[in-house]
Amino acid sequence: MAFRLASSPHNHSGSSTSKLMRTVILATIPGIAAQWYFFGAGNLIHIVLACFAAIVTEAVILKLRKQPILSRVQDNSALLTGLLIGISIPGFAPWWISIMGAVFAIGIAKHLYGGLGQNIFNPAMVAYVMLLVSFPLQMTTWPPVSEITGYELSLWDVFNVIFAGVTLDGHTAHQLMQNIDGITMATPLDTLKTGLAMGNTVGEIQTKEQFSWLSGLGWEWINLAFLAGGVYLMSKRAILWYIPAGLLGGLFAISFIGYLWEPDSVGSPIFHLFSGATMLGAFFIATDPVSASTTPKGRLIYGALIGALVYIIRTWGGYPDAMAFAVLLANMCVPLIDYYTQPRVYGHK
């Protein structure tokens, strides 16, 4: 037998990439269930489409690169990427949005850099930003919460909207985004941003029906569900607490300062913590082990930077939610953060 030299650590943790990815996928179930409950089955359909497209794209590119297909596909990294894309896509978006996003994430954002472990940006967020910039209308067609609409959609209605653009009764996605009063609905973050631009105060805006006592109607429960999944990941040591704590702490701190300074012009810290993709980003996206910072102190800085960028873009930027942009901007800073936060070498004076 040949003697094989390997770098440290020599004491293997017993965890594999495949097992880690399965644990993360399992932790998303509460958040996906909450999305289904409040926004219907559209996200489930997009998750299936994106996961299928991601796995097929992974297999095709591995074949073209003459690399083993089965073992690489079974590491579940492509499956997780497709899952995150499907979660992020609005339920009424057309079917080709999720397909295009998954193909772009795997083919460009992952394999163009060399494959798993080589990408410097989070593939799912690269795909999301590409879709948002290219197709802003389709990527902002989030349906209103079911309890404030005047109709009930069956699974076949949602399926028909995604694949044909209309329900079985002939209603378009735009019509489905209207409440019983015929007013077109928007996400709470978008409503807040638009209302402030029109000169309204936060108190006046939050009297609208899509807001609740904590955040946006439905969105607070989705964020709480992803928070529960994140706590599960930390309990299993699939992720460490540094990045989520840095992100949520940074977002809370800067939003608290802004709220003290101008309470009528910005959302409260609690509103920001439980709106949009905050908890999904904190526990499932920013913690990507490949594109995130690797040092303990660097992870805290990296997370805090994302939290600050989320608030800055939400408040003064052109997009109501900012998690994807914040993560990609922080990914650019990772080499610099890791360089200046390296632990001291043992024995160094």
Q: Side-chain half-sphere of 140: how many Cα atoms within 13 Å?
A: 18
Give Dmax over CA atoms of the chain in angstroms. Answer: 76
Instruction: State whether residue 172 is helix, strand or coil.
Output: strand
- Tokens 């009930």 belong to residue: 152
Strand partners, 166: 172
Q: What is the pLDDT of residues 143-177, one digit of tens each?
A: 777 665 556 677 888 888 888 877 777 666 666 66
- Phi and psi at 102, nearest 5°, equal -65, -45
pLDDT over threshold 80, residue 180? no
pLDDT over threshold 80, residue 29? yes
- Phi and psi at 329, nearest 5°, equal -65, -40
Q: What is the pLDDT of residues 305-323, one digit of tens each?
A: 999 999 999 988 888 788 9
Task: With CA atoms as reference, report the closest residue to 28 among 266, 281, 272, 301.
Answer: 281
Q: What is the pLDDT of residues 196-249, one digit of tens each?
A: 788 788 877 777 777 777 787 888 999 999 999 999 999 999 999 999 999 999
- Tokens 């089955």 belong to residue: 41
Q: If you average pLDDT over residues 27-31, what whole number do you get?
A: 96
Instruction: State whether residue 283 is helix, strand or coil.
Output: helix
178 DSSP 8-state letter: B
Any idea which of 13-17, 60-64, 291-295 has the lowest mean pLDDT? Answer: 13-17
- pLDDT, position 184: 47
Name every residue whose Cβ is closer than 8 Å to that of residue 43 and which is 6 or more positions away in sequence: 32, 35, 36, 86, 87, 89, 91
Q: What is the pLDDT of residues 84-118, one digit of tens each?
A: 999 999 988 999 999 999 999 999 999 998 888 88
Name every residue whose Cβ is closer than 8 Å to that of residue 67 and which is 6 or more positions away in sequence: 115
The encoded tokens of residue 267 equal 């959302």
Average pLDDT of the chain, as a whole number: 86
State what percent of residues in the chain have pLDDT above 70: 87
Q: Do you know the residue count of the chain?
A: 349
Cα 225 from Cα 206, distance rounded (Å) = 23
Number of helices and strands (H, E) in the chain? Answer: 17, 0
CA distances from 340 to 301, 304, 337 (A): 11, 16, 6
